[in-house]
Amino acid sequence: MQETKAETTTKNPKKANLLDHHSIKHILDESVSEIVTGRGYVEDVRLSNVRLLLGTVIIVIALFAQFYKKKFPENRDFLIACIVLYIVFNGLLQLIIITKEKNAILFTYPPAGSFTSTGLVVSSKLPRFSDMYTLIIASADPKSISAHQTVQFTKSVTQWFTKDGILVEGLFWKDVEALIDEYVREPKKSK
């Protein structure tokens, strides 16, 4: 643990444009991913791979429609089929993003050697024109018997950035690690 803190002080500090909330959220989300994976949680990239595969299929459909051997009046039915497939696969991709991903920045497997059978879903929110950053840690499978209660904190980003836009990683790491510890300690409440 001491090595990771020593490494973060020697590398370049993370700097954000304080007038751009996307820049601030990106740096905080990136740091959260580093902290969670540094705690022994391995990133689960299956959903990202499915999204990439669907995107590739969409691109291939568009390429077939564009470079088909016959010209327009003759390939009308083929073009209609490509357009329908394009719409269907794009709809499926959007459905996955809306229902599964939501505001998630990281999906993980359970840590090695742990008794839990579920990983984490880490999500965050930073509303536009607001300085309140919300970090939520939930179980990847909330119906599992080994799932923990969802935990979250909402704090002002002004606590973690200097006036020059440099992230004070020590303070942010402490807050995120405390939230992870709270998630691990918190048993799921029975209904």
Task: Give me the pLDDT at residue 57, please.
Answer: 92
* Residue pLDDT, tens place only, 95-133: 988 888 888 888 888 877 666 667 888 899 888 888 899
Average pLDDT over the chain, rounded to an integer: 81
Kindly state the percentage of the chain with pLDDT values over 70. 86
Please check the confidence at residue 83 and state whether its pLDDT lies above 80. Answer: yes
Please check the confidence at residue 42 and state whether its pLDDT lies above 60. Answer: yes
In sequence order, which residues have a C-beta less than 8 Å from that of residue 14 and are 6 or more positions away? 27, 30, 31, 166, 167, 169
DSSP string for residues in 47-81: HHHHHHHHHHHHHHHHHHHHS-SS-GGGGHHHHHH
- What dihedral do alpha carbons 173, 178, 182, 184 form, nearest 10°? 50
Which pLDDT band holds residue 88 (cuts at 50, 70, 90)? Answer: very high
41/137 Cα distance (integer angstroms): 13
Which pLDDT band holds residue 190 (cuts at 50, 70, 90)? Answer: low
Please check the confidence at residue 37 and state whether its pLDDT lies above 80. Answer: yes
Which pLDDT band holds residue 171 (cuts at 50, 70, 90)? Answer: confident
Give the chain's largest Cα–Cα span: 69
Task: Give the residue extent of every domain in the chain.
Answer: 21-44+104-185, 47-100
Q: Under DSSP, is residue 90 helix (H, G, I), strand (E, B) or coil?
A: helix
